[in-house]
Amino acid sequence: MAKKRKKKKAVRKKTKKRATKKRKPAKKKRATKKKKRATKKKRRPAKKKKRVTKKKKKRATKKKKKVAKKRKKAKRVVKRRKKKAVKKKKRKKRKPNLAFMRPVQPDAKLAAVVGSKPLPRTELTKKLWKYIKRHKLQDKKNRRMINADAKMKPVFNGKAQVSMFEMTKLVNKHVK
């Protein structure tokens, strides 16, 4: 037990010594820093001003204005491009109308030109125009008029010549 007491006393003495140590004043460190700063700051000699004539000043201002105009123009162009890109992104692909995509059955008269299988109205008009172009049934002087051949006459109700707009009405009558 005596040994334990001695150890405790020795530990107490050490802690007292640590507490009694004095720290060096911080003022001395600051003073040395100030001296270093003072040595670093040296004044640079003033630069001599160059003489600039009026003509040179005018040229310089003109150049500055041109550069500013070019920058503005470039900014406008960039903005336009961004707007166009945004517009293109916003547009969505059009979905076809389901009524047009529903297959229809052409009757016997129209089947001679287009075919007997049921097909959507869009495909029907494509095939009809393909037939017209292949057989050169479009009038050469008035391109809106379509001349009927042997297969097309029954579709056009016996008429020799029909306009494009009238043709669509007549073709609709031959579809179920």
Cα→Cα distances 44→35, 48, 125, Å: 19, 12, 88
**Full pLDDT tens readout for the chain, 176 residues:** 566 666 666 666 665 555 555 565 555 555 555 555 555 555 666 666 666 677 777 788 888 888 888 888 888 888 888 777 776 666 667 777 787 789 999 999 999 999 999 999 989 999 999 999 999 999 999 999 999 999 999 999 999 999 999 999 999 999 98
* Complete domains list, the chain, with CATH: 99-173 (1.10.245.10)
Question: Is residue 171 packed enough to be buried (19+ CB in 10 Å), middle (13-18) or exposed (0-12)?
Answer: buried
Cα→Cα distances 158→86, 152, 163, Å: 53, 9, 14
Beta-ladder partners of 161: 147
Q: What is the pTM of this model?
A: 0.47
How many other CB atoms are there within 10 angstroms of residue 115's CB atom?
13
